[in-house]
Each structure stands twice: as structure tokens, then as C-alpha cells.
Structure 1
Amino acid sequence: MTTTMANSMTDNDNEPLSPERVRRGRRVALLLFVIGFGPMLLATVMYYTGWLNPAGHVNYGSLVQPLVPVSQLNLIGTDGKRLADRFTAPTANRQWLMLTTAEGCAQTCESLLYLSRQVNVALGKDANRVARAAYLTELTLSQQQRLGAEYEAVEMLRRGGRDPVWPDAINPAAGPRILLVDPLGHVMMQYTPDNSGEDMLKDIKRLLKLSQLG
């Protein structure tokens, strides 16, 4: 009898699956996939599209990916200290930074300096949470003096003992731009002359609202 049952089971195992059993098996497999990976896929879609995302994952500036540590730029402040050191200061003293960069400073560059000032003013009570600086190469002495007088609140940075290492994505040689540095010392977003002041203001206001630092 045992042999008969075993043979019967073997015969059943060798029988071809009916279309209905195949469809049922596929539905079960799909359900298991959705249960296991559905939440992760949904979160990914929400993050990249802003769908149902209260923060509205929409950036007007261009994200810098991967983030660039400001220490890599090897810049020195007017106090003679490394710019990167400011981002290791006590939490209460950290700020966001709008950093204007350009080779020389023609009209487009000056427009960005003016734009950063207007954005800072428009931040109102949060203006002190965002500092402004510039790294401008190949300036004449008269340009240095004039820009220093017109933009007193903008700290003019210089390079350290070696040339800054600028990733291609943010290299000043590719054109003037404003880099946004977070309170942890990462270049995380950039704005070109194609961006408006309103673009920058919206991004920065949202970042300040979400930020636990700066």
C-alpha cells in the first residue's frame, strides 16, 4: 500500500500544471514581491518625484552629487584660517554659505554677487543663518578694491598653499556660479546665471526650515 501511495504521489508530481495553477502561482509570487519590496519602491518614487512628499522634492538649483567637502577646495578666509575649519565649530556657530566663484569677475559674476546679497536680505530674520563669500581669481587691483567696497559683507577668499581641487561639476573655469555649502561643510547645490533669485530663495528657505544646524 505504501508503495502504491508513493507511486501515486510521484505520478501527481509529474503531471503538467494546469493554466489555472500557473496563474495562481504567479499571483502568489507577485503578492510576495509587493509585500517585500513595495514599500521600498514607493518610498523611492515619492523621493524622486515629490509625490505625496510634504517637502515637495523639487530643487531649483542643481544638486551636487556626490557632495563635495569644502576642505577639498583648500580655501582660506580673510582671517588666514582654513574655510573648512568653520564647519567644525560648535553647532551654535555654524552657518550655511553662499559661495560665489568665477575666473575674473565680469558682468555675469557681479550679477551673481548682487543676487546673493538680495537673496540674503529677502531671508529676513533668517539672514544671519546664511553667510556670503566669494572666490574670484584673476582680479585686477582696482577690481579687488571696488568689489570689496561694494560688497563689504562678502568675504573674499583665497587659495591655500596648493591649488583648490575643483570637481568638474563645480569648476569656476566652466563659468561663474553660486555654490551652496551646508553647515556640515559640504558643497551640496549650485546656481548658474540661468537661475533667478526667486529660485535660490525658495530652495534656501526650504533648507533652513528643515535644517537642525545653521
Structure 2
Amino acid sequence: MQRLTIIFVFFIFNLTCFSQASTDTTTSVRQRAIPPSSRRVDTTFWRTENKTKNSFWGNSTYISSTINFAKNKEYDFNLGRTNGIASYSERGLGDYSISSWGIGYGLTNTSSQTKQTVKAFYEYNYFPFIIIGSFGVRGEYIYNITDKQNYLRPAIGLTFVYVDVSYNYSFLLNGSKSENHYRHGFSVRLKYYLTKKNWEKNYFVRQTIR
């Protein structure tokens, strides 16, 4: 446990020290006449602000807390990195594309005792501003410190940027001799993105030239 504590503290230190964003601005321009016989030309382009320097390291720090309603109820806390991309189109349309990874610590309440777990995760969430069509997928590797069990847990559900609801199933990798403490589960996750202002922003711009 002492080694895990040292690793966790080192991970937090790195997250807080390297949360910086780029202020680069780039554009991609396209011109077309509407209609072809008209002298009017519409120029459309995407203007990018805070271009992400490294898509793996991302542009903000990820913090979340989860309740998993499964065979045995589980609580966890997660910390990691997020690469957030916001796109703003015409008429108020747009979307968030959010990918995150990190580590977590959890407690599982069983009838006999409380189990401690550590985990590594990756998740991707897509949230259109019209809400319809939002979704989230997540994968976790879980190690039960108490019972020395290994799990893989895929999940799929809905995202509302700061709140996720999802269905998951935990696959026990230790074989049939060990008890699966989870199996089917339903998770509610609360999330916060530290330095969300650093997310990459793409703006759709239309200019008319006569």
C-alpha cells in the first residue's frame, strides 16, 4: 500500500504541474459561389483556438466519483487527464468530444468485508448540444487488492458532460473458482474537468463577399 500511495501522489503532482494549453489559432478556408451564376461568394472556414499540443496528455485534469450498483455496491474516486474538443457551428449547434484516461481507487461493500480496489481506465464521450445522440463508452482494468482478483469492465451509456449514466459488466479474469463480486452493474458518475477553459475550440465561420 505504501508503494501505491507514493505512485498516486506522484501522479497527482504531474497532473497539476503540466496542465497548460496552447493559444495557437489555425484556420481552414473554403470558398464557393452561391448560386454558380451569382457574384456573391461565401467563404467558410473553421477557426481553431487552444490547439491541443499533445492529444494523449490532453488539455485538462479529470476528476470523478462513481457509484456502481452491482451485485455488491461499489464507490470509487478517479483522477486522470482529458483531451476536450469543443466545436461550435451555426444556429447554436455544436458538440463536445471528450477522451479521458487515468487511475482510480475504490471500495466495495460485501456481506463479509469491505474490499479495496485500484483501477486504470479509458473513456470516450460525445455530447452534441442538442443532447440527442450523446453517448459514452468506458473500459476499466480493476485489481481487487483484498482478494487479489483481476477484472475487465466495459461500459456503455449516456453522457451529459458532467454526469454519466451507464451499464457495465465485470469480467472476472481469475477463473471460476473466485467469486465475481460485480457482474452486471449500473453506474452513475459525477465528473469535473479542472482547467476546462484550456479545451480546444473550433468555430465555424461564414463570410459573404459580394
Q: TM-score range by the shorter chain?
A: under 0.3
Scaled by the length of structure 1, what TM-score is found? 0.23
Q: Which protein is richer in strand relative to its size?
A: 2
> Rg larger in 1 or in 2?
1
Q: Which protein is richer in helix relative to its size?
A: 1
> Which of structures 1 and 2 has the larger relative contact order (alpha carbons within 8 angstroms, sep 6+)?
1
